[in-house]
């Protein structure tokens, strides 16, 4: 495998751009291919088998384009697919783990909130992390779930009035229960930070997995001697499986290079 080969980054939509930003910050000389399966967005309400199938097809597409590793920048896809992907592909597959460990370490009230999608909540990964880090520390973990937030971010409404209404309704029980840390359990949710602050001020410290995933990716590539040793700044190729015209303004708004996505045939047909 060539050190100059790109890194694949996959998400169901634009949420993974928050992870991509951390990857590019830490690995500025790497080439990236970003694939968003917008034709099948959102993944959160889909059955586990379908999530695994769609994720596998997307990673196969990235693999066929010669990537040296894939970052599954989607909490729902990670919760259901990582074991299957690692058994199927001969390249490093890096997934997301909810940022519960630092939240447990930082809480002063002993109550931590997790804002998740229905799919992430149904998977076993979150419960495994709670058992590993929160339960031994005696920290109470409360979850808040919304199926509306991902579509709102995808529609470019991360700071819109409807988004703030949904967030107030969804997060109020966590605030009233005394949560002082809020784990953003979906890669779309870092784009909601402004709206969360507008509704709740500094009630919560917000935590997401992007920076930790970037560090882990660097470490994995370093151990495999796959870090790009070229000094030129890296670039990104962006692909979507859905309508380009619908995706273009949101990609432009949420990416620092005003990304121009290209259409790719939908992973699931």
User: Was 187 annotated as part of a binding site?
Assistant: yes
Among 11, 155, 142, 148, smallest CA distance to 71 is for 11
Active-site pick, 17, 69, 73, 74: 74
Positive or negative: CA dihedral 165, 170, 173, 175: negative
User: Was 11 annotated as part of a binding site?
Assistant: yes
Structure token pair of residue 119: 């799919």
User: Was 2 annotated as part of a binding site?
Assistant: no
Assess whether 74 carries a catalytic annotation: yes
Distance between CA 192 and CA 11 in Å, rounded? 17
Query: Who's near 81: CB < 8 A, 6+ residues apart?
Result: 51, 52, 55, 56, 72, 95
How far out from the chain centre does Cα 17 lie? 8
How far out from the chain centre does Cα 249 lie? 20
Active-site pick, 58, 186, 192, 254: 186
Query: Are 188 and 149 a contacting pair, CB within 8 Å?
Result: yes
User: Was 43 annotated as part of a binding site?
Assistant: yes
Query: Are 7 and 73 a contacting pair, CB within 8 Å?
Result: no
Structure token pair of residue 22: 């951390």
What burial class does residue 201 get, using C-beta atoms within 10 Å of its C-beta: 0-12 exposed, 13-18 middle, 19+ buried?
exposed
Please tell me whether the peptide bond between 257 and the residue prior to it is cis, using omega within 30 degrees of 0: no
User: Was 81 annotated as part of a binding site?
Assistant: no
User: Was 12 annotated as part of a binding site?
Assistant: yes
Distance between CA 202 and CA 141 in Å, rounded? 19
- Taking phi over 0 as left and psi of -120 to 50 as alpha, with beta for the rest, 27 belongs to beta
User: Was 228 annotated as part of a binding site?
Assistant: no
User: Was 44 annotated as part of a binding site?
Assistant: yes
Binding site: residue ranges?
Answer: 11-12, 43-44, 75-76, 187-188
Where in the sequence numbering do the catalytic residues fall? 74, 186
Binding site for substrate: residue ranges?
Answer: 11-12, 43-44, 75-76, 187-188
């Amino acid at each position: 495998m060539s050190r100059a080969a790109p890194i694949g980054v996959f998400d169901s939509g634009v949420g993974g751009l928050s992870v991509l930003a951390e990857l590019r910050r830490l690995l500025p000389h790497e080439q990236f291919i970003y694939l968003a399966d917008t034709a099948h967005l959102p993944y959160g309400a889909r059955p586990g088998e379908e999530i695994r199938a769609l994720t596998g097809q997307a990673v196969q597409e990235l693999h066929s384009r010669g990537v040296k590793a894939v970052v599954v920048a989607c909490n729902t896809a990670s919760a259901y697919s990582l074991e299957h992907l690692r058994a199927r592909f001969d390249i490093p597959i890096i997934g997301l783990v909810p940022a519960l460990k630092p939240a447990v370490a930082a809480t002063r009230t002993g109550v931590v909130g997790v804002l998740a999608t229905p799919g992430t909540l149904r998977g076993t990964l979150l419960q495994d992390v709670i058992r590993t880090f929160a339960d031994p520390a005696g920290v109470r973990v409360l979850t808040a779930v919304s199926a509306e937030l991902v579509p709102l971010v995808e529609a470019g409404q991360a700071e819109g009035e409807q988004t703030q209404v949904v967030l107030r309704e969804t997060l109020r029980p966590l605030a009233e229960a005394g949560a002082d840390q809020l784990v953003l359990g979906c890669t779309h949710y870092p784009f909601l930070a402004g709206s969360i602050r507008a509704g709740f001020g500094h009630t919560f410290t917000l935590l997401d997995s992007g920076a930790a995933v970037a560090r882990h990716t660097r470490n994995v590539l370093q151990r495999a001697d796959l870090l790009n040793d070229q000094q030129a700044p890296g670039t990104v190729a962006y692909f979507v499986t859905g309508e380009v015209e619908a995706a273009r303004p949101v990609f432009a708004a949420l990416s620092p290079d005003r990304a121009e996505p290209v259409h790719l045939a939908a992973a699931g047909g």
